[in-house]
A and B are shown apart, each in its own frame.
Chain A
């Protein structure tokens, strides 16, 4: 659901991304145009708006950029670089300068594994610690929104991050038999490429040096990556269903003291069904954003 909810963020939150009514922030912000800051947002929605403002920027006054406080910029730069590429060692969640760039490491680890072993079996096991740590750490993005250094709505980012965490912890981590499914590799590849592109995009935007090809990548890769990622996620959940039903995991049955019940199996079915309304909305929203950013089309939006 990662990509789905990201785009949902894009769809519903595209207004929220603007600095209409300055968001609360701990740091002094100079009252200039919000475009630069908009690119730092950690969700597609803001990225696209950032991209949009990028495009707008090219045509209008290039000098007008919003400046975040130095501390916030430094932190976000670390965070984005950290998410993109990486050094091999990391210890704990501290602000060490040798931050861990896990997504690139993940990508490299996956490629190496496949080249050595020739199979995807055992791949998940070899990268799982990194993946789990890394994807869980994305919770920090919610904090970014809460303290206001990124102009996305907290709810939007929260939903996005939650769905990724759902996939990693509640499906692949908890349901061991499906870890060797091909579909797992499918969404891992999709996530990895997307995240590397996205965080590179943010990093370069933050540093005010955005090579066109990164922007191009960010707004074109999704065309393949979204459906691939969604397919991977859905197939994985589908493969997990028999195991869930057999073991009755994460479920509560009646009778019990609190008169409640929960069936994880039906919960998963409903989750899968929810992709049907959500995915097309997100996908078409991203397509529209792409037209706006890359081709400078003027899209008439609903006036609210």
Chain B
């Protein structure tokens, strides 16, 4: 438990003292590392008593986290989860102390969220990988295909087109991460980057291997199929970008406000009338287009897996919209109009 006192006139304590039970920085076994994770007894987290005298009532949780970091530098603010109840929800950084249900002494429970990494870093890494990896296969770098194919070029137009589309897609994503998206959360747990990169990089390599293979078979219906697929792909890429811009405009820079998104003058955003997360709808559409263009089963499988994941996200987002906004448009479905 971390104690902090708002009114310290009578207490003249040093700013940090340990409780009498020296389970302190052994912290109820927080010192014991089990595969790199701290182990806590029961539900009680670190048994830590810190006294911060002279904290203003209008201090925010963010400021308290900074104070905590000063005395325990290994737990930087992004790693801290502070709560009023050990099993309760995390307090937000913007919460102000005097608005919380605490008396003159506030008891906060601390939880270590583990090493954190910023969302931007994760996104950049997971998108740069496929961009680079696909090109390795496209240029038939040695040791992938037989040596007689090293640095050769495919004779099928669709293969070159596919490379352009795939690369465009990931460059778009990188640029959006840098200039368009406004993230609700600053960080995520470190282990996510390994999981995510394995997924993106693995699938990119698998798809690229077949599309750029010397024995690649072009689509059954030839140029017609490719043209149709390209149209789908381009439309969905534009749609996806439009939605990202619309969502960005909903939220002022540096804020984390949430509002109901509505269609704008841009026709691509009219999908908001039918769907809560049209960005996911357009994303699935892009990949379906790419699958039709290349007529490659691994691409279809990647689209399917992506669709499954995005549906889960869309349903979650839809549910939280419904919870947060009473007047949420009833016609909207999470990801597929009228269906899903």
| Contact assessment for B296 and A260 in the assembled complex, using a CB-CB cutoff below 8 Å | yes
A275-304 interface (Cβ within 8 A of B): 300, 302-303
Known contacts A300-B29, A300-B39, A302-B37: A257-B215 contact under CB 8 Å? no
Task: From the candidates B37, B41, B295, name the one contacting A257 in the complex (CB within 8 A).
Answer: B295
The distance from the CB of B316 to the nearest CB of chain A, in whole angstroms, is: 16
| Contact assessment for A259 and B41 in the assembled complex, using a CB-CB cutoff below 8 Å | no
| Contact assessment for B37 and A259 in the assembled complex, using a CB-CB cutoff below 8 Å | no
B210-247 interface (Cβ within 8 A of A): 210-211, 213, 215-217, 220
A254 at the interface (CB under 8 A from B): yes
8 shortest interchain CB distances as A-B pairs = A260-B297, A255-B215, A259-B296, A254-B215, A258-B297, A259-B210, A303-B40, A255-B217
B306 at the interface (CB under 8 A from A): no
The distance from the CB of B88 to the nearest CB of chain A, in whole angstroms, is: 14
Taking Cβ atoms with an 8 Å cutoff, the residues of A that contact B are 254-261, 300, 302-303
List 24 contacting pairs A-B, 8 Å CB cutoff, sorted by A.
A254-B215, A255-B215, A255-B216, A255-B217, A256-B217, A257-B217, A257-B220, A258-B295, A258-B297, A259-B210, A259-B211, A259-B213, A259-B217, A259-B294, A259-B296, A259-B298, A260-B296, A260-B298, A300-B29, A300-B39, A302-B37, A302-B39, A303-B42, A303-B45
| Contact assessment for B29 and A261 in the assembled complex, using a CB-CB cutoff below 8 Å | no
B8-41 interface (Cβ within 8 A of A): 29, 34, 37, 39-41
Interface flags for B185-219 (1: CB within 8 Å of A; 0: not) read: 00000000000000000000000001101011100
The distance from the CB of B226 to the nearest CB of chain A, in whole angstroms, is: 14
The chain B residue sitting closest to A252, CB to CB, is: B297
Interchain CA distance A72-B197 in the complex, whole Å? 44
B43 at the interface (CB under 8 A from A): yes
B263-312 interface (Cβ within 8 A of A): 294-298
Known contacts A300-B29, A302-B34, A302-B37: A259-B43 contact under CB 8 Å? no
Among B40, B295, B297, find the residue whose CB has the most chain A CB atoms closer than 10 A.
B297
For the residues of A in contact with B, the DSSP-based class is loop
In the complex, chain A residues whose CB is within 8 Å of the CB of B34:
302
The distance from the CB of A36 to the nearest CB of chain B, in whole angstroms, is: 24
| Contact assessment for A300 and B210 in the assembled complex, using a CB-CB cutoff below 8 Å | no
| Contact assessment for B216 and A259 in the assembled complex, using a CB-CB cutoff below 8 Å | yes
Known contacts A300-B29, A302-B34, A303-B40: A258-B215 contact under CB 8 Å? no
Task: From the candidates B41, B211, B220, B296, name the one contacting A300 in the complex (CB within 8 A).
Answer: B41
Interchain CA distance A303-B34 in the complex, whole Å? 12
Interchain CA distance A258-B301 in the complex, whole Å? 12
The chain B residue sitting closest to A254, CB to CB, is: B215
Interchain CA distance A259-B219 in the complex, whole Å? 10
Task: From the candidates B43, B210, B296, B297, name the one contacting A303 in the complex (CB within 8 A).
Answer: B43
In the complex, chain A residues whose CB is within 8 Å of the CB of B211:
259
The chain A residue sitting closest to B211, CB to CB, is: A259
In the complex, chain B residues whose CB is within 8 Å of the CB of A303:
39-40, 42-43, 45
Interchain CA distance A3-B41 in the complex, whole Å? 31
In the complex, chain A residues whose CB is within 8 Å of the CB of B210:
254, 259-261
In the complex, chain A residues whose CB is within 8 Å of the CB of B43:
303
Task: From the candidates B213, B295, B298, name the one contacting A254 in the complex (CB within 8 A).
Answer: B213
Among B45, B210, B211, find the residue whose CB has the most chain A CB atoms closer than 10 A.
B210
Interchain CA distance A291-B97 in the complex, whole Å? 46
The distance from the CB of B106 to the nearest CB of chain A, in whole angstroms, is: 23
Interchain CA distance A261-B209 in the complex, whole Å? 10
Interchain CA distance A258-B296 in the complex, whole Å? 5
The chain B residue sitting closest to A300, CB to CB, is: B39
The chain B residue sitting closest to A303, CB to CB, is: B40
Task: From the candidates B29, B39, B40, B297, name the one contacting A259 in the complex (CB within 8 A).
Answer: B297
The chain A residue sitting closest to B32, CB to CB, is: A300
Interchain CA distance A261-B213 in the complex, whole Å? 11
The distance from the CB of A217 to the nearest CB of chain B, in whole angstroms, is: 30
In the complex, chain A residues whose CB is within 8 Å of the CB of B39:
300, 302-303
In the complex, chain B residues whose CB is within 8 Å of the CB of A257:
217, 220, 295
Among A254, A259, A303, find the residue whose CB has the most chain B CB atoms closer than 10 A.
A259
B26-70 interface (Cβ within 8 A of A): 29, 34, 37, 39-43, 45
The chain A residue sitting closest to B299, CB to CB, is: A259
The chain B residue sitting closest to A255, CB to CB, is: B215
The chain A residue sitting closest to B206, CB to CB, is: A260
The chain B residue sitting closest to A258, CB to CB, is: B297
In the complex, chain B residues whose CB is within 8 Å of the CB of A302:
34, 37, 39
In the complex, chain B residues whose CB is within 8 Å of the CB of A258:
295-297
Interchain CA distance A257-B43 in the complex, whole Å? 57
Interchain CA distance A110-B109 in the complex, whole Å? 60
Interchain CA distance A302-B217 in the complex, whole Å? 51
In the complex, chain A residues whose CB is within 8 Å of the CB of B216:
255, 259
The chain B residue sitting closest to A256, CB to CB, is: B217
The distance from the CB of A210 to the nearest CB of chain B, in whole angstroms, is: 28
The distance from the CB of A264 to the nearest CB of chain B, in whole angstroms, is: 16
Interchain CA distance A302-B42 in the complex, whole Å? 9
In the complex, chain B residues whose CB is within 8 Å of the CB of A261:
210
Interchain CA distance A202-B234 in the complex, whole Å? 57
The distance from the CB of B204 to the nearest CB of chain A, in whole angstroms, is: 15
In the complex, chain B residues whose CB is within 8 Å of the CB of A254:
210, 213, 215
In the complex, chain B residues whose CB is within 8 Å of the CB of A255:
215-217
The chain A residue sitting closest to B207, CB to CB, is: A259
The distance from the CB of A251 to the nearest CB of chain B, in whole angstroms, is: 14
In the complex, chain A residues whose CB is within 8 Å of the CB of B29:
300
In the complex, chain B residues whose CB is within 8 Å of the CB of A256:
217
The distance from the CB of B216 to the nearest CB of chain A, in whole angstroms, is: 6
Interchain CA distance A300-B44 in the complex, whole Å? 12
Interchain CA distance A250-B37 in the complex, whole Å? 43
Interchain CA distance A260-B296 in the complex, whole Å? 7
